[in-house]
Structure 1
């Protein structure tokens, strides 16, 4: 049983549902949670979880849920995870806070891919689950929407400072999601009749006084022009102080920001750059791909047309010291970058990605980098040129002047490594991947 990781769940857009409602622990945990599980089992269909996880994993069943809750029960609350690794994948974190007067049940649910909800009947089943939960566990506000689009809304603060938004919560309608549940307090602040007359796909009053509002029949089509117009009209209807044209313009900009951008990276750095987009929030990913498409690394200048002759008396001893430096780098990084043992072009790309991901030049001290990391990396880079491109060392007493001859050019790996380790941007400008590809062109 494989539990999807956060990385797995960020590959493409998801439907994200955030819900916090009230429950009464005095009635017994099983009695209070039974309606939650009833709705899940009756409505989930293709997105039904298959795994219950705490410190161990179990196949989903009611009994597995009760055992997991018992294992994780604590004074501060109980947290368990329900997961599904098959397509569509699912992560559902259930958090129970057993405070006497403010006991709460929170659901943090992500279902990937969002395209799974392109059919009306599938979206309707999700609406049915949300309706059942909101009817049973009174909530101030809850929503289900594209995770990528949410990332463009500044949710949950919506531009407020931390203290303010944590105090006030969703005290007015800052944004509308595909599915919205408005608690009685928010309904009364807007006006019940006004809210019930919202121009949307579904507006329904729930038994506890909450209102369920769904903008469009399918969750997956939230960014279409027609759905955005409905979203803008509904928002302005609920917030007459807003300007329709301004709201619609913002929504269209968000839709444009989410349009897929085809990667067209510079070929010399494509193996490296292709790994970077997934490191950004899904809301930023297409913009980052466009930026990386436009990126053109400087042409490598760390080479000479003619070698400076070697000025070392004992080449074997120098190479031995180089070996010690390289082995130290391998020893330090082999668990994080396993391919470093191979000394290949792919190893250099793996190192590029590791150093960028770690923001290594800006996280570690300059003394460590200049005295240890950069020299060791220069040796390693030179050794890859020797082993994979048939290069030969031309050794110098000043380490940074040592060279590797490949064909008609003489390369300066220590200089490249020093420039490379200056900043996070320099990892792109002076990547090991590009340096190797440039040198390879001169291989005899």
Structure 2
């Protein structure tokens, strides 16, 4: 049974629900969690978690949850996960504080993709879950919304430093999201009558004094013009000190930044660049795709029209040393980049991505890179040109001058590898993927 990773949940926009409440744990965790699970089972239509995850995985049931709580019970709290690996993917992390009269109840729920919540009835079911949790586990503030848009809003700090965030918490209405739950303290701060008169799709007072506010019928349409206008109107209603036009302009800018950008990467580096967008926060992804669309790597200059003649006395020994370098690279990276053993164009793309993801040139020492990594890459790249493109080595005593003849040009793989390993940006400017495709054009 697959466990979802943060990377899995970053591939598309999601509905994110954060809920930090309290509960009376004196009756035990098992009893306290029943209303929470009942609300899920009755209303999580199509997105119900199927796995209970701790140090081991179990098929979901309330009994499996109780066992997991017992397994993870510690003096300072208990953490378990509820997961759904199928579409829509679900990750729910439940954190319970030490067992006392008022204990922390923290829920972080992610459902991907956000588009699952395009139907009104699906969203109504989600609201029923939120309403039930808010009634059972009182919270000062909770919200459900697009994960990408929450990133733009800098939730939960809203741009404050950690000291101010920890000191003040949700001391005013910094933002409004698709679904909001305001605890009694925040309600009284704003004014109960003002909050109940908020122009929104749903405004409901809960028995414990909290107020549930839903801005728009469906979560997936949060970025539409109509939903943004509703969001701005509700926000300035609760915060009369804010200017409607300014709030709406900011929301429109956020919507524009989320409009999908079609990837149009340079063909020589497209196999590499196509992997990069998923490495950025969802809120940044479309801007990054646009930047990568505009990126044009320099035309490779690591070649000569005429070969420098070989000046080595023992070619076999030199080739053996290059083989040792190449094998050392394979041995070091074969678990992290399994395709390195195949010596194909895809192997080079996998290496490009690995080094970029690791920020290898700036994370590791220059001595290691210059004396080991770059020479090993040069030997590996040159060996690939010989094996895959019909090249022949022209060896030189100075390693960076060693060449591989392919067609009517001779190429300098060691020089390319050194330039490649200068910085994270150089991994793009001098990618192995691009170099191989350029050489490929000249093979006989």
Distance in 2 between residues matched to 1:5 and 1:328, nearest whole Å: 31
In the alignment, which residue of structure 1 is the partner of 2:82?
A: 82
SS in 2 for 1:160: coil
**Residue deviations 1:325-366, cap 9 Å, x none?**
111111111110111111111111110000000000000000
Q: Does the residue aligned with 2:194 lie in a helix, a strand or coil?
A: helix
Counterpart of 1:93 in structure 2 is 93
Alignment of 1:25-424 (within 5 A): 25-98=25-98, 100=100, 102-424=102-424
Q: Verify the 8 A CA contact 2:30 2:69 in the aligned structure 1.
A: no
- Provide the C-alpha distance between the structure 2 equivalents of 1:403 and 1:409, rounded to a whole number of angstroms: 10
Distance 2:159 2:49 in 1: 35
Residue by residue over 1:208-236, the C-alpha shift from the partner in whole angstroms, topping out at 9 and shown as x without a partner, is 00000000000000000000000000000
Displacement of 1:392 in angstroms is 0.4
TM-superposed deviation, 1:85 = 1.1
2:2 and 2:364 mapped to 1: Cα distance?
35
Greater CA drift, 387-396 or 154-163 = 154-163
Classify the secondary structure of the residue corresponding to 1:86. Answer: coil
Deviations 1:235-291 (A, max 9, x none): 000001101000000000000111111100000000000000011111111111110
Query: C-alpha displacement at 1:6, in angstroms?
Result: 2.0
Report the Cα distance in structure 2 between the residues aligned to 1:411 and 1:77, rounded to whole angstroms.
Answer: 61
CA contact (8 A) 2:300 2:430 kept: yes
SS of aligned partner of 2:321: helix
C-alpha separation in 2, matches of 1:70 and 1:154: 35
Aligned-pair CA distance for 1:28: 2.3
Write out per-residue CA displacement over residues 70-111 of structure 1, whole angstroms, 9 at most, x where no aligned residue. Answer: 000000100000011111110000110025354111110000
For normalisation by structure 2, the TM-score amounts to 0.99
Matches of 1:61 and 1:45, distance apart in 2: 16
Preserved CA contact (<8 Å) 2:81 2:92:
yes
Deviation of 1:167 after TM superposition, in Å, equals: 1.7
User: 1:436 deviation in Å?
Assistant: 0.4
Measure, in 2, the Cα distance between the counterparts of 1:9 and 1:77.
Answer: 25
- Structure 2 residue runs of 5 or longer lacking an equivalent are none
Q: Is the 8 A contact 2:23 2:101 kept in 1?
A: no
Task: Specify the SS of the correspondent of 2:139.
Answer: coil
Q: What is the SS of the residue equivalent to 1:108?
A: strand
Structure 2 Cα separation of the partners of residues 126 and 88 of structure 1: 14
Cα-to-partner distance string for 1:292-319 (whole Å, 9 max, x where unaligned) = 0000000000000000000011100100
RMSD: 0.8
Partner of 2:426: 426
SS of equivalent residue, structure 1 residue 140: strand
Question: CA separation in 1, counterparts of 2:424 and 2:392?
Answer: 30
For residues 23-82 of structure 1, the C-alpha deviation after alignment (integer angstroms, 9 at most, x for no partner) is 011122222211111111111111111100111111111110100000000001000000
Kindly state the Cα deviation for residue 193 of structure 1 after the two structures are TM-superposed.
0.4
SS in 1 for 2:106: strand
Task: State the TM-score, normalized to the length of structure 1.
Answer: 0.99
Secondary structure (helix, strand or coil) at the match of 2:203 reads strand
Contact 2:43–2:129 (8 Å) recurs in 1: yes
- Tell me, which stretches of 5 or more residues in structure 1 are unaligned? none
Residue 381 of structure 1: CA displacement? 0.7
Structure 1 distance, partners of 2:242, 2:104, is 33
CA distance in structure 2 between the aligned counterparts of 1:103 and 1:152, rounded to whole angstroms: 31
CA contact (8 A) 2:196 2:204 kept: yes
Secondary structure, aligned partner of 2:166: helix
